[in-house]
Structure 1
């Protein structure tokens, strides 16, 4: 039961697309991630996904049902509804806070081929 310094957490890793679990609230992970380049088209069938940009800018491609791009800058939030295919990206990079049920896989329940730079994980504990 001590405060968590997000600046210290960020100083501890630089790998993009490899989220860190900074704490849990009930059955949800609060994750901190670096975004750089493109992730992979994927879907979470049974859960929404919350994005909050702490630094930088991201784009989230969504198919709902038409394909479109949502752009988020520092201080903005967006929720991808469950069952919606989406693909996050960021050029040149960003820091994002994510909220997802514990155990949610970073590439969802279904996804395109996963490139080597994307960590397939349920998050790494800080």
Structure 2
């Protein structure tokens, strides 16, 4: 499962989704955590629509995005693209969130996460 974190320091979740300058991307399974890279948002994005759309394009392969805040319209657009936004307290260490997610994947994921996992497994077996 690909996961994005809105972060400027690459160590903690410290950014509002719409104001994030970068996202750090991980692939997370019950058995491993692999950092895939960092995406940097283009400077000088024009309007709000352009800003949200450009961020959506950066994280389009992710199932979950962690941020400190997100507006209702942006959250709705993420959900339409099958990306689940999660708000966490500012400064929350990314490593801790990765470990929590890994435990959820291995034990008792909430229904929305179990549904995403099934969908990803189907897509992977179809390839």
- Normalised by the length of structure 2, the TM-score is 0.29
The answer to which structure, 1 or 2, has the higher relative contact order (CA under 8 A, 6+ apart) is 1
Considering fraction of residues, name the structure with more strand. Answer: 1
- Normalised by the length of structure 1, the TM-score is 0.29
Considering fraction of residues, name the structure with more helix. Answer: 2
